[in-house]
Amino acid sequence: MSYYSWPYPAPLKFPSILTHSPGNETYSHWASKAWDWLAAQNLITNDQVNPPAWRILDGTYITDNCTTLTPIQWSYNVGLLLNAAAVMWNATGHPMWEERAMGIWGAAIVRILP
């Protein structure tokens, strides 16, 4: 999938919108849907066998119809999804978002910050 054909709107990319829309579940729905799509494509992984398990991969190669993942993990993508998970945790209080935020943070400390 090309970056330009991203099928979901901006709420995952700019989750701070959630804090300005109390009671509006639209952004929460799309943030969850976008996260689930990224996870289904294995661009977000949480393999509990090899902690720190959370990985946020950069993308896929278009030369093979986006079936091969790029093994690169960039700090920008990690920060973007860490922020999204933290804002969703704050907005919803749901433990699923807490697990995601803390998991990405823990993995980032080991993989990116050293």
pLDDT tier for residue 4 given thresholds of 50, 70 and 90: very low
94-109 per-position pLDDT tens digit:
999 999 999 899 888 8
**Residue from 53, 103, 18 nearest 95 by CA:** 103
Non-local CB neighbours of 40 within 8 Å, separated by 6+ positions: none
Phi, psi angle pair for 59, to nearest 5°: 170, -155
Query: Considering the chain, what is the average pLDDT of its residues?
Result: 78
pTM of structure? 0.74
% of the chain beyond a pLDDT of 90? 11
Backbone angles phi, psi at 64, to 5 degrees: -125, 40
pLDDT digits (tens, 9 = 90+) for 50-83: 655 788 888 888 888 878 888 888 888 899 999 9
